[in-house]
Amino acid sequence: MSSTLEKTRYKSEITGEIEKVTFRNDETGWTVARFREKAGISSVTTTGHFTNIRPGESYHLVGFWTKHPQYGKQFQVERSVPIRPTTKEGIKKYLASGVIKGVGLKTADKIVEKFGIDTLDILDKHPERIKQVDSIGKSKALTITKAWQEQKQDSEINMFLNQYGLTGKMAQRICNLYGSDAIRVISSDPYRLSMEISGVGFVLADQLAQRIGIPPDDPARFRAAVIYQLQQAEDRGHCFLSKEQLSNGLQETLRLPVQDVTEPLSEAINYLDRRSAILKERAEVLGQGETDVFFTRDLFLAETNVAHIITRQLSERVLIDQGRVERWLAKYVQAAGLALSEDQKDAVRLAARTRVFILTGGPGTGKTTASNAIIRLFKAMGKEVVLAAPTGRAAQRLSEVTGEEAKTIHRLLEWNPATRKFGCDEENPIEADVLVVDESSMIDIRLMDALLRAISASTHVVFIGDADQLPSVGPGNVLRDFIDSRQVPVKRLQEVFRQAATSSIIQTAHQINKGLLPNFEHGERRDERKDCWFLEIEDPLEMKKSIFNLLADTLPQKFGLDPLKDIQLLTPMNRGVLGTIQLNRELQAILNPDQTGKTKAVDENERVALRPGDKVIQCVNNYDLGIFNGDIGFVRQAGISGGKIQVAFGSRLILFDQEELQDLHLAYAITIHKSQGSEFPAVIIPVSMQHYIMLLRNLFYTALTRAKKLAIFVGTRKALAYAIRNERTLFRQTNLRVRLMKELSGEYWVDREILE
């Protein structure tokens, strides 16, 4: 297990017999077992994925010798090839291991005494002869025959998959989906795996196809490669690609010249388009003008549906007594002792008279105050108000600032891990008159589609967020597209309030967002009473040394900040001297040293063993455990039976098995992308030309706005200046803005005064 094990550089192979299965997850195939090598004196622990495994079975295992910090020497299995026993004793033990339901040691002994070393061959070819064994009647013979055929089928599939180098984990997923059809599916069209099996991408499916003997010009290869290009584009935030972009991608992926791609690409597009696997329309592409572009089916439908529902919500006038709203506003301001600006009052008025409304603005502009007023107005009108946010941390913060319960969008929509579907949809909508959604810039097109499908036509929706921050991790740029369409009512708060204006964090954030280089004070003239500093250091190693000193010494001593709970190191990248991987490895040793005195070695993925007290982050959504990408917690216990680890996420305690731990990383340092939706008392932000490709304005704007009390840049002004000039990541290929303009413009009543 990569998060808790040390791998050697070279693969090893061992052959022997399973003695005992210590732990097994039947759904994933993850197994911990005791294994005795052939002619070995003592047994060893093996860990890995097996499609089936029972005591008494023999295997040839391929993998790595590892050293677990608590359990010692282990063999981590990458591939397992079952071996049939060839001796009478081995066959007896094998049959009695549970491989055949209803056959125990006594029955196995009788069968082997009757047929000897030919037993397994007879079960394969002449199973009816089992009735010749004493005490086995017709009914039991049928049961034994059926069970044997089932396990034989599993064994044959396992052998087939291992023959082509698929790991046990992949083999388990393939068997779970295709069952007895696995061999037929893979032999006829291995590219199906890339579209139907999680974790099997095009590259792996293409390698498998080559081993099986699928010709490189097979049409299925080009069709799968087209889908792969669209998936890769989605990982970069795009919703579509043009034909020219698809062609360039195929040339690189398949390593073919343009003349060998042109015709097969057209045929693949036509084939996929006819079957609605991809959908085509005209759209503007940077540098190409208006051209044909191609979506995967689900992204096309998501964009179309979002535009349709927004149109539906805005298609009817909201009847409201504006005079009553003004009287309520006056009373609310007086009772709450607030001084709402005219922009904030306008936000409340617009929210009341529109079915969809966007409240946006930078830090210190009063979004929270305006949001609270909007919520109080709707509640005063007797409406059922529901609050939501994309992440658990954002939902918790929304609850804290409003005093009302807020849920994650997944929880609100009643995500079901078993069916992997939302319980709330068109047929079962959310019971809400008003839906308020915070941190809306984090919502990708798929989640927005699911959310809007679950509201009724009469529901008011209020989106709150800073559109200038990083867009969603998933595809699309939904909040920005809503605003840029100029069809959805928007109020942008721009006035920085007096109290916020004294914060150099907020001042600096607004300067960066406007493309201005902040005028930080130099060296000894730095006023440490201010909440935003710049430590100018040229050498990356010296930068790292300074960062470690800030974390472990300066900030805890001068400001009483807890280096684990109060301070977050935010860096642009994972790799390099100032990347999360190396920083986390060294910070673990500084902030949470090994109390046992044992050396914790680094595995092939450059990750170290987790131990109690470690700060960790979940790096993918795990719907089964109910934790999501970006959730930060602390390890409570490590080395629990089966290699499990217990982690506290706030008040929740989650138990991770060894497979689930693959998605859990150290979080002393995290990427800026992972910090979206979070706030920390203090942040430290390295700024180095080493991170050249990630020096982006909205990246550092987002990083800075994560800080509540203190933000410190460590690095060079040259790197920060480059980032501030670079707006490159603001562009994503989506067509939602155009859809909204086409659907809404001139086709429904709208008070133009409510549009910004």
pLDDT tens, position by position, 334-370? 887 788 899 999 999 999 999 999 999 999 899 999 9
Over residues 694-720, the mean pLDDT reads: 93
Over residues 26-47, the mean pLDDT reads: 81
Q: What is the largest distance, in Å, between two alpha-carbon atoms of the chain?
A: 97
User: What's the confidence (pLDDT) of residue 479?
Assistant: 96
User: What's the confidence (pLDDT) of residue 157?
Assistant: 74
User: What's the confidence (pLDDT) of residue 27?
Assistant: 66
Tell which wins on pLDDT, 426 or 501. Answer: 426
User: Which residues contact residue 581 at a Cβ distance below 8 angstroms, ignoring those fewer than 6 apart?
Assistant: 574, 575, 606, 607
User: What's the confidence (pLDDT) of residue 2?
Assistant: 38
User: What's the confidence (pLDDT) of residue 108?
Assistant: 85
C-alpha separations of 643 from 71, 225, 610 in Å = 8, 38, 11
Question: With the C-alpha atoms ordered 520, 525, 528, 530, is the resulting torsion angle positive or negative?
Answer: negative
User: How far apart are alpha carbons 636 and 612 in whole angstroms?
Assistant: 5
pLDDT tens, position by position, 400-437? 999 999 999 999 999 887 788 999 999 999 999 999 99
pLDDT tens, position by position, 443-489? 999 999 999 999 999 999 999 999 899 888 889 999 999 999 999 99
> Whole-number mean pLDDT of the chain?
85
Least confident window among 165-169, 248-252, 663-667 = 165-169
User: What's the confidence (pLDDT) of residue 522?
Assistant: 52
**pLDDT(178) > 90:** no
Tell me the pLDDT band of 521, cut-offs 50, 70 and 90.
low
**pLDDT(168) > 80:** no
User: What's the confidence (pLDDT) of residue 500?
Assistant: 63
Tell me the pLDDT band of 706, cut-offs 50, 70 and 90.
very high
Tell which wins on pLDDT, 491 or 755. Answer: 491
CA dihedral 715, 508, 358, 378 (to 10 degrees): 120
Of the chain, the percentage scoring pLDDT greater than 70 comes to: 90
Token code pair at residue 3? 């998060």
User: What's the confidence (pLDDT) of residue 334?
Assistant: 86
Over residues 572-591, the mean pLDDT reads: 93
User: What's the confidence (pLDDT) of residue 204?
Assistant: 85
User: What's the confidence (pLDDT) of residue 163?
Assistant: 66
Over residues 199-212, the mean pLDDT reads: 84
User: Which residues contact residue 473 at a Cβ distance below 8 angstroms, ignoring those fewer than 6 apart?
Assistant: 442, 444, 629, 673, 676
User: What's the confidence (pLDDT) of residue 596?
Assistant: 61
Tell which wins on pLDDT, 730 or 693. Answer: 693
Tell me the pLDDT band of 632, cut-offs 50, 70 and 90.
very high
User: How far apart are alpha carbons 584 and 428 in whole angstroms?
Assistant: 45
pLDDT tens, position by position, 235-279? 889 999 999 999 999 999 998 888 889 999 999 999 999 999 999
**pLDDT(607) > 60:** no
User: What's the confidence (pLDDT) of residue 240?
Assistant: 97
User: What's the confidence (pLDDT) of residue 626?
Assistant: 79
- Backbone torsions φ then ψ of 346, nearest 5 degrees: -60, -40
User: What's the confidence (pLDDT) of residue 4?
Assistant: 36
Tell me the pLDDT band of 605, cut-offs 50, 70 and 90.
very low
* DSSP per position, 680-720: EEEEEEEE-GGGGGG--HHHHHHHHTTEEEEEEEEE-HHHH
**pLDDT(754) > 80:** no
User: What's the confidence (pLDDT) of residue 525?
Assistant: 44
User: What's the confidence (pLDDT) of residue 398?
Assistant: 93
- Backbone torsions φ then ψ of 491, nearest 5 degrees: -125, 120
User: What's the confidence (pLDDT) of residue 375?
Assistant: 96
User: What's the confidence (pLDDT) of residue 642?
Assistant: 62
**pLDDT(142) > 60:** yes
Least confident window among 157-166, 378-387, 462-471, 557-566 = 157-166
Over residues 26-52, the mean pLDDT reads: 80
User: How far apart are alpha carbons 452 and 461 in whole angstroms?
Assistant: 9
* DSSP per position, 339-373: ---HHHHHHHHHHHH-SEEEEEE-TTS-HHHHHHH
User: Which residues contact residue 293 at a Cβ distance below 8 angstroms, ignoring those fewer than 6 apart?
Assistant: 240, 241, 242, 280, 281, 282, 283, 285, 733, 735
User: What's the confidence (pLDDT) of residue 388?
Assistant: 97
Over residues 636-661, the mean pLDDT reads: 83
User: What's the confidence (pLDDT) of residue 625?
Assistant: 82
Of the chain, the percentage scoring pLDDT greater than 90 comes to: 47
User: How far apart are alpha carbons 745 and 310 in whole angstroms?
Assistant: 12
CA 678 to chain centre: 16
User: How far apart are alpha carbons 346 and 493 in whole angstroms?
Assistant: 10
Length of the chain counted residue by residue? 756
Tell me the pLDDT band of 639, cut-offs 50, 70 and 90.
confident
**pLDDT(749) > 60:** no
> What pTM does this model have?
0.79
Least confident window among 209-213, 683-687, 728-732 = 728-732
Over residues 506-513, the mean pLDDT reads: 92
User: What's the confidence (pLDDT) of residue 299?
Assistant: 96
User: How far apart are alpha carbons 101 and 112 in whole angstroms?
Assistant: 16
